[in-house]
Structure 1
């Protein structure tokens, strides 16, 4: 019998850890439903151990190497920071959220922080409890979804600082949150083990099913506008990956039992290569599968393996990969004291540009405004040839529109709002006083040595 080898240009993709890394880091030990580390290829962000209110470390990718303990940070939230997202249309804007029930938009200087950043560009109020997850719309400028412990998802128009829409018929804590590929729907998993997809413009659930039987958290992502992927646990605590067709609620179109590991798995899908990457907190491995859509639906390719477990992992945008080395994806992996970079490459002998593995990719420009999306428009993310936009930076401008709600927040606050701002200011002063004491001690020590 003659065996048939499956033909695929991605069958031999391999992952390798790059030598350069960020070192001497102190990541926070705070647990979070997010991936903990995010990068847009220009900057990288993760929570820093501070012993007090939330602190974010934001480094330019050019700062790779040993990080000095005196490096400046973002210190603007009154409580722990639980999630953060770079604006996909501006590499120098970061949105954060946390225990203080607010969302804050930060302007990051080009080249990285030179002093502590304490005053945000915009502060968004609206959730009644801590905000745990964020996700920017893939096509519309300055539109973002947030999930909160108040069991609601809000869709924010950042330009006027107010929630434009809300999904409130949610009966449990939200564990993951992601817009669909063109931003028509929002998918999310909850603690009741279900995965749901909702149309935020109508508030209607368009898909709902029990994702995984196990009690540990499940996460979700998108493969296509009508196809989602979930990662979770079976009743026997097997880690699983399931793929669902939104037109069929009864059973997944693909179910993979991965192993009996304990770390929560996160899915990352690359539509350009049709490769699904699966990484887990506490794991050293990143598995990847090719999605082909035949009767097997997807095939296991390989796994990047490491003995160093990760605290969190995510991937940079495609326009930031190195096409000269046939790199198709790059992951950033947070460990106990480093950030490692993992490069996934297609082995090729030729040194010329391999256009067959690089279709047009998302270019970092919005394809419509928030107003257009709210009016019912749906558009694919803008794409361009990767060689035209390779290593380019996104620079969409935010134009703040004053609204009655914003004026009310600024000039007619409630007693609770004044008390909250006062506590935030006190916490900020306390952190600055601690920092002054640290610097004075360092200066005194250095003076004695000299």
Structure 2
């Protein structure tokens, strides 16, 4: 008989803030399907109603992602193109005609992932200006969100047969799924956040009243650990830098 081993994440439930530590009445944009919030060391920025935040004039931007190593490089996705800019020189370094609504960098910044509302997911080598893998994995016509699990695996969030689905894949074979978790039917676009340091994965959908957190195995397997209920509707989640946290107060 196999011996049961308790997960090291069993006490990983987040500590809720007091009312004095919480900002209320902030009006978040209802039009943005992607995460409208981001957290820095001492600032939190968000997309507000009837307002936008940006430094580059590229039209309607779906998503921007800074390079994880080169702080001056930013990848931008819009309706018609995928572009790479150097904001220190204000020059465009790369442009490709590609309709994509979400983009992400691999952990070391060597590759990028781009996904469209048609459900197509592509792994891109920006330096060589080509796609090294492409597959159609979802079928809803809504955004496909994704995060890299290191340098060769990803977790993707989208719709399949009206269900909100999270699945991990290896970039060498996007069509071969390693793990799958289903969130059930719903209109809120599914999202994912991954903490590389603790290998904790946070799954949620806009408009829901909670989120699920999981742990990721060495082979990209996803194990569900707990669900956290929230009284308010979730519109976006971001991970705070470790330097803002009292990491010794937790058990993870």
- TM-score when scaled to structure 1? 0.53
Q: Larger % of helix: which?
A: 1
Deviations 1:246-285 (A, max 9, x none): 1113321112222223211111111111111112110121
Structure 2: distance between partners of 1:12 and 1:313: 20
Structure 1: distance between partners of 2:155 and 2:29: 29
Which residue is 1:141 aligned to? 71
Determine if contact 1:167/1:200 at 8 Å carries over to the other structure. Answer: no
Structure 1: distance between partners of 2:73 and 2:181: 34
Structure 1: distance between partners of 2:186 and 2:16: 22
Runs of 4+ in structure 1 over 3 Å off: none
Deviations 1:82-140 (A, max 9, x none): xxxxxxxxxxxxxx43xxxxxx1xxxxxxxxxxxxxxxxxxx44x3x422211100001
Structure 1: distance between partners of 2:236 and 2:195: 18
Matched, 1:39 2:56: no
- Give unmatched runs, 5+ long, in structure 2: none
Determine if contact 1:33/1:175 at 8 Å carries over to the other structure. Answer: no
Structure 2: distance between partners of 1:303 and 1:136: 30
Which residue is 2:15 aligned to? 16
Determine if contact 1:226/1:245 at 8 Å carries over to the other structure. Answer: yes
Structure index of larger Rg: 1
Structure 1: distance between partners of 2:209 and 2:28: 17
Selected match of 1:225 from 151, 160, 165: 151
Which residue is 2:85 aligned to? 156
Determine if contact 1:166/1:203 at 8 Å carries over to the other structure. Answer: no
Which residue is 2:108 aligned to? 182
Q: Larger % of strand: which?
A: 2
The alignment partner of 1:207 has SS state of strand
Structure 1: distance between partners of 2:124 and 2:140: 23
- TM-score when scaled to structure 2? 0.91
Distance 1:229 1:278, change over 3 A: same
The structural deviation recorded for 1:7 is 4.0
The structural deviation recorded for 1:27 is 2.8
Distance 1:154 1:6, change over 3 A: same
- Give unmatched runs, 5+ long, in structure 1: 55-80, 82-95, 98-103, 105-123, 327-345, 347-356, 358-450
Structure 2: distance between partners of 1:14 and 1:5: 21
The structural deviation recorded for 1:306 is 1.4
The structural deviation recorded for 1:209 is 1.1
Which residue is 1:432 aligned to? none
After TM superposition, the structure 1 = structure 2 runs for residues 10-409 of structure 1, keeping only pairs within 5 Å, are 10-19=9-18, 20-29=21-30, 31-49=31-49, 54=51, 81=52, 96-97=53-54, 104=55, 124-125=56-57, 127=58, 129-149=59-79, 151-168=80-97, 170=98, 172=99, 174-235=100-161, 237-293=162-218, 297-326=221-250, 346=251, 357=252
The structural deviation recorded for 1:190 is 0.1
Q: Aligned Cα RMSD in Å?
A: 1.9
